[in-house]
Structure 1
């Protein structure tokens, strides 16, 4: 069962992510990467602050990675902050720090299939844990000169989230696969579910494991 959903997207940078309310401690707020800001915003929009999380990104922390590569190319010291923020689980880790969440985090990165695999992994987690699980996929690739290599998305920042609850009830929603041209393909499977359930309550979908 899909309990809650949210999405956000912008051609360059997502505005109005309500960081000051969601992350009141300034020191933590200043440390957040763009992906982490999107993550905590989507989780808040879904009303989720504690529980297992499955997070997906095809490209990971692009700005931190670019900073590290730039430092290596310039023969300069690598920033400890960039190194810390370069891992794929950066965004959900900041979410857990924010809320004191001690539940399991799983991170998935598998190119265009990322959100499809997040859905499968999230369904398994929901069945195993027997409770609600947060699924988030996001991409934040708004870095200098990205237009020279970007051919897959109009939105340089985007994210989609939903929460899953295991249920014995039969599926009542059919999810149709389609192209979401403005978004990175790594988000498409999750967006398919979002579109199928948008404006409906009590949506139940079948996920093949």
Structure 2
């Protein structure tokens, strides 16, 4: 994928000299422990309400027919729940935006089950598990349920998945001038995979990024790639910091906290903030937030 920057102009109060790609947050979806949706989660992320861990039970994806619903895994249900909330809050039909679905691990539970089956005598693999093992399974279910013919990208970038998926989505908005649904998700891994890749809690979030401000717009983002620069993220409450460490997709929590008006800056609270999401090569994806 290209890291070429597309200049943009930013309404609000961010410095006009800061280059990058401009997009606007039209809607957010959220599902994780103690974060059942964006409204409740934003209050906890901004410090307006206490955060308490609670089990995550993704709802059955209503957008799918009963036969398809039964085939979905936990990872897919997480992704579809967050994505559905985001487009609903953005006031868009589900088939309207282009999509970027991003998962650090893919569907580890399905892959683990396939590996166990291959290890067993006979090595019979469930067709449904094979169907769900591809990295774009969540995107495929979304496009089926939404009836979408829009372009879709599925990414897996290990620990860099959150910042690079955001960079990809912002680039699409800036270049195509179309709304993009960005969905980040990961589910716990089974043994023995969990010993090599720490993912113990389920989490998903989604952003609808638009080329122009929309009614109810949460924030304007300016996104750019830096070849060097230390990470700079809002501090999270202890419990949420532990969640961030327990799931690669939850590395989006500092950005969500800034959108909610928490951390070191504010998004929905009416101010500006700048975050740098670190990359494994020592670079960063810098995100400037300002009012729409």
TM-score by length of 2: 0.60
Offset, 1:100: 0.5
**What are the within-5 Å matches in structure 2 for residues 1-209 of structure 1?**
1-10=24-33, 14-15=56-57, 17-19=58-60, 22-23=62-63, 25-46=65-86, 47=88, 49-50=94-95, 51-75=97-121, 76-141=123-188, 143=190, 145=191, 149=195, 152-155=198-201, 157-167=202-212, 177-178=233-234, 180-183=241-244, 184=246, 186-198=248-260, 200=268
- Native 8 Å contact 1:177 1:189 kept in 2: no
Q: Count how many residue pairs are aligned between Structure 1 and Structure 2.
A: 204
Taking CA–CA contacts closer than 8 Å with sequence separation of 6 or more, which of the two structures ends up with the larger relative contact order? 1
- Structure label with greater radius of gyration: 2
Secondary structure of the equivalent of 2:27?
Answer: strand
1:203–1:166: structure 2 CA closer, same or farther, 3 Å change rule?
farther
Higher helix share: 1
**TM, length-normalised to structure 1:** 0.82
Mind listing any 5+ residue stretches in structure 1 that lack a counterpart? none
Q: Which runs of 5+ in 2 are unaligned?
A: 1-23, 34-52, 214-218, 224-230, 262-267, 275-284, 288-292
Q: Render the CA deviation track for 1:33-82: whole Å, top value 9, x for unaligned.
A: 21111111112211151221111111101121011101111132122211
Where has structure 1 moved over 3 Å in runs of 4 or more?
10-13, 145-148, 150-154, 170-176, 201-209
| In 2, Cα distance between equivalents of 1:148 and 1:154 | 8
Deviation track 1:134-185 (CA, whole Å, cap 9, x = no partner) reads 1111111253x36961773452x111111111249x9579995257321346
Partner Cα separation in structure 1 for residue 212 and residue 98 of structure 2: 17
Q: 1:25 to 1:114 in 2, by over 3 A?
A: same
